[in-house]
Amino acid sequence: MIQKKICVLGAAGVGKTSLIAQFVYSKFSEKYLSSMGVKIDRKIVQLESQQVNLMIWDIHGEEKFKKITSSYFRGASGVIMVADGTRPDTLSVAQNIFQRVEQDVGNIPSVWLLNKVDLEDQWCMSEGVVKQLNEKYVSVYQSSAKTGENVEQTFFNIAENMLNV
């Protein structure tokens, strides 16, 4: 079976761990435990043509004094970039990380998530921002780790893209 490494990246507290927990274990918790270092999960995904064993690296959120080192995304075949749709500044953090990924790993498939879309009353992403992102990065979803909205699609999309490279 084909194995692929993917990294889930973004600012702290945007819901990276929650998205993975929803995808791998169909679970969600309101509790916030800030991740340290890396945690790795595995899920086998059945695509139309074949099966892929995704090794999903959940990397700690980027913070001012705790930058993500590039050794974590070395060897990745794809990245999931996550921002919190209720906190606009997390989007620029994600874009900053992505620049470093492109520098170190080169051009690999990416999926962009504006997460926590279930928090409608606090949502800060205008249609315009979403459109701009779409033009720039192609695969952009508004997701929710809480309701599971677009979570499966995200991982299937990245799996497909990685195999078509």
Partner 1 sequence: MTDHNHHDPMQQLRKLLFKEEEARISAIEEVRDNEELHAKEISEVLVEALDLRAHDEGLGKALMPAVETAVSESIANDPKAFADALFPVMGPAIRRSIQYAISEMLQSLNQTLEQAFSPKSMLWRWEAFRTGKSFAEVVMLNTLLYRVEQVFWIHKETGLLLAHESFDPSLTEDADVVSSMLTAVGDFIQDSFQGSPNQEVQSLRLGDLEVMIEQGPYSVLAVVCRGNPPRSLQVTLGQTLEHLLQTFHDVLKTFDGDTSHFSASHDMLAPLLLVDYVDHEKKPPIKLIIALSILVISFVGWTSWNVEQKLALKHRWQSYIQTLKETPGLVITDVDEHEGIHHIYGLRDPLAIQAASLLKKFELNEAGVQYHFQPYHALDHGMMLKRLWHLSKAPSSVSFKIQDDVLYVYGKASQAWLSELQLMTQWMDGIALVNVDAVDVPKPPKTFQERVMMLWQPIDSVQLHVQGDAVMLTGSATIAWLQQAKARLASLKDMASYDDHAVLRLDSVDYILQLAQQALHPPRGVHLSITKEHILKAQGAASASWIANAQKKSVALKYILGFDAKDLKILNKVNLARVIAALEPPASVDLFLNKGKLLVKGEADGRWITFANLQALNIKGVQSFQNQVKQIWHADAVLEQAKLRLHPEPSVQLSFADGVLHARGQASKRWISFVHREALHIDGVFTFDEQVDMIYSDEEILKIAMTTLQPPEGVRLQVSQGVLSILGEADIAWIESLKAQVAVIPGLQSFDIKSLHAKAQADGWEQLQIQVASTRLQTFANHPLLTVKDEAALKRLSNIFHRAVELHPDSRLHLAIAYKRSEKLVLMMRNHAIHQGLKKYGVFESQIITDFSENQGVKQDSRIVFTVIKQP
Ligand X SMILES: Nc1nc2c(ncn2[C@@H]2O[C@H](COP(=O)(O)OP(=O)(O)OP(=O)(O)O)[C@@H](O)[C@H]2O)c(=O)[nH]1
The residues binding partner 1 (CB under 8 A) are: 1-5, 12-13, 30-34, 37-38, 40-42, 52-53, 55, 57, 63, 69, 71-72, 74-77, 86-87, 89, 119, 122
Neighbours of 50 (CB within 10 A): 11
Neighbours of 40 (CB within 10 A): 11
Stretch of residues binding ligand X (CB under 6 A), selected from 6-14, 39-47, 121-129, 132-140: 6-14
Phi, psi of 23 (to 5 degrees): -70, -45
Residue 27 · residue 148 · CB < 8 Å: no
Contact pick of 7, 17, 54, 110 for ligand X (by CB under 6 A): 17
Beta bridge partners of 84: 115
> For residue 121, is it left (φ>0), alpha (ψ between -120 and 50) or beta?
alpha
Contact residues for 79 (Cβ-Cβ < 8 A; gap 6+): 6, 7, 8, 9, 73, 98, 101, 108, 109, 110, 111
Site string for Mg ion, 47-66 (x = CB under 5 A): --------------------
Give me the least distance between CB of 81 and partner 1, in Å please: 19
CA-wise closest residue to 95 among 81, 76, 116, 107: 81
Give me the least distance between CB of 16 and Mg ion, in Å please: 5
Scanning residues 11 to 40, which ones bind Mg ion (CB under 5 A)? Answer: 16-17, 35
Report residue 160 as tokens. 């497909």
Site string for ligand X, 18-47 (x = CB under 6 A): x----------xxxx-xx------------
Residue ranges in contact with Mg ion by CB under 5 A: 16-17, 35
Residue ranges in contact with ligand X by CB under 6 A: 12-18, 29-32, 34-35, 60-61, 115-116, 118-119, 144-146
